[in-house]
Amino acid sequence: MVKTILVVDDDPAVLQSYGRLLRRLGHRVLLSEDSEKVMTDPESLREIDLLILDQRMPRTSGLSLLAGLRRRAAASPGAQGAAGAAPAVILISAFLSHELRVEAIRLGVVEIIEKPIDTAHLLASVRAALSAAACPRPVDPLIPR
């Protein structure tokens, strides 16, 4: 079954690279370098099964974007993924910290991938995230949502 992946990154060359790589999996890949448009467009997550976010972008961070998207989805339940659930999320970052990891988990990120990206790891992570999208992760009672 063909899934839809949305990648948000401010670097057009990186976006094109991700697009070429992810299309090898046979899925539909959408690319956006405009995090504000993704945030404000109520249709931006419709039919999206996987969201891949860069953490450091000029106007917002990947986690800030995700938090805003989660708030928007909670306010309008129809703006969810193709299966009627929130899309799985992979975060990509060059600078990892304990705080970033905790916030990512709190927001439901399924995996954080550290730059530089290993393409085999990214592809494996995408496959895993898409196959697990129908099985939501249990909520950790120690991390507030």
pLDDT digits (tens, 9 = 90+) for 37-67: 999 998 888 899 999 999 999 889 999 999 9
* pLDDT reported for residue 127: 96
Q: Is 142 helix (H, G, I), strand (E, B) or coil?
A: coil
Q: How confident is the model at residue 90 (pLDDT cuts 50, 70, 90)?
A: very high
Record the pTM: 0.86
Would you give the DSSP letter of residue 52? E
pLDDT over 70 (residue 84): no
56: buried, middle or exposed (CB in 10 Å: 19+, 13-18, 0-12)? middle
Considering all CA atoms of the chain, what is the largest pairwise distance in Å, rounded to the nearest integer?
A: 40
Cβ–Cβ contacts within 10 Å for residue 22, how many?
21
* pLDDT reported for residue 145: 38
Residue labelled with tokens 């249709």:
43
What gap in Å lies between CA 102 and CA 53, rounded to an integer?
Answer: 16
**What backbone phi and psi angles, to 5 degrees, belong to 123?**
-60, -40
Pairing of strands 4-8, 28-32: parallel
